[in-house]
Structures are given as structure tokens and as C-alpha cells.
Amino acid sequence: MDGWMDSTGWMMGVEPWRPLVDPDIMDQFLTALRGPQQQQQVSVADTLSKLADRCQQSTQLADRRAAVLALRGLSHDYKQEVGAIALNALLTVLEHDAPVDEEIAKAVLQAINTLCEVDVEIAGKTDREAALAHTDTVLANPTYTQKLLALIQHDASYVRLGAIHLLNTLLSNRRAAVQAHFVNAPESSRIVITLLEEKRDVIRTGQPIPRYVST
């Protein structure tokens, strides 16, 4: 390997490893989890707000991707908080970045699905109400279901599966609203026919995606 070690042990001439998630953001999140410190504690809400801002305002695709990956991870343990603070930011990513970046598409579909899915292991009133509220936010704008229909035709199988899985979750929660969106989308019939002709069972049946599986 070309390059040489400097006094700190880094290999000079070789690009250093860079984390997917901004370490400053994760440090703030961990600080919030640890409890009160001598310095002012950064709350989970502050961290989520910063991640949401990165999704919507950063000019760097890699930065937006890192923020989505972080929100995907936090959505499992902080479902209501992520939904309240960052769902609109995730929907912005779904609309603008998911069609052009496969990694972002997979992550944002999984994150939104986690927010909308009723957790059968919890099955509490609060979880169900949060999931339905998040579903209503997604369905408030037909643009997002149109983006889902487009992603069902994506070349990457896990993006297609993610779109099908989210669409299935939305149907389970608000069937009539989703059907109304389909009626108003002229390309929906052709997409459904394409799905029926799909030879890969995992795509045709819309089986759940294992968490954080990459292709």
C-alpha cells in the first residue's frame, strides 16, 4: 500500500476513513441519553431538529444521506419524536433525493415505514395513534404516493421492495385514502400489472425488509 505513517500512526497519502453519520450529531445524541452533565445538555429533540435541518437544507447529498441514516436508526426507539420533528423532512427526501440515490431511497423508505407501521410487539394505543397520525401526514399530499409508485419501478430490487412494503403499510392503516390516490394516478394500473408479472417472489409478495439489509 502506497503511503507512509506519520507520528500519529496515520497512513499518509491514503484517504482516511470517514463516518457515514456526522460524529458531532451522534455525540450530541449520546450526551442526551447519558443524562445531566456539567455543561448544558443537548436534548433528543434538539438532535432530531438538527438532523431534520440537514435533510432539508444541506447542499451535500452525502450529508443528507447521513442524516437520513441517523433518523432511520432513531425511528425505532423514538418513533413519536422522529415523526413529530422529522417526518416532513423525510418526505422531502423521498420526493427529491430518493429517485436519484439508491442508498437514500432504501433508508428513507425504511424510516417512514417504521414511523407508519403499527408495532405488533407494543400494540398500545399510543403507538397505534402515532402510526396513524404519521400515515395521515404521508397521505395528505398525493405527491408522496406518486413517488412510491415510481419507486416500485426502480431498478434496485430493495428499493422496489421498500416502496411496496411502505405502500402496504399505508394500505393497512388507511385503505380508502390510498385507494383514492390510486384512482387519481393514471399510471397505477400499469404498475400493478408490472408487479403481477414480477418473477421474483420477494418483490411480488412484498415480504418485509430485514432491518438495515444492503445490496
Question: What local confidence, expressed as pLDDT, does residue 22 receive?
Answer: 59
Q: For residue 46, is pLDDT > 50?
A: yes
Question: What local confidence, expressed as pLDDT, does residue 213 receive?
Answer: 39
Question: What local confidence, expressed as pLDDT, does residue 12 receive?
Answer: 47
Indicate the SS3 state at residue 11: strand
In our burial notation (b when 16+ CB lie closer than 10 A, e otherwise), range 60-98 reads eeeebbbbbbbbbbbbeebbbbbbbbbbebbbbbbeebb
Question: What local confidence, expressed as pLDDT, does residue 212 receive?
Answer: 40
CA separation, residue 198 to residues 53, 155, 191 (Å): 38, 12, 11
Q: For residue 156, is pLDDT > 80?
A: yes
- Among 124-138, 171-185, 189-203, the range with the most confident prediction by mean pLDDT is 124-138
> Which tops the pLDDT comparison, 196 or 187?
187
C-alpha cell at 156: 434496485
Q: For residue 196, is pLDDT > 50?
A: yes
Q: Percent of the chain beyond pLDDT 70?
A: 64
CA angle 12, 15, 21 (to 5 degrees): 135
Q: Side chain identity at 109, as an amino acid letter?
A: L
Question: What local confidence, expressed as pLDDT, does residue 3 receive?
Answer: 47
Q: 121: how many CB neighbours lie within 10 A of its CB?
A: 6
- pLDDT single digits (tens) 117-152: 987 776 577 888 999 999 999 999 989 998 998 898
Confidence of residue 198 (pLDDT cuts 50, 70, 90): low
Does 1.25.10.10 match the CATH number of domain 18-204? Answer: yes
- pLDDT, the chain, mean: 78
Question: What local confidence, expressed as pLDDT, does residue 26 receive?
Answer: 61
> Which tops the pLDDT comparison, 200 or 86?
86
- pLDDT single digits (tens) 58-115: 999 999 999 999 999 999 999 999 999 999 999 999 999 999 999 999 999 999 999 9
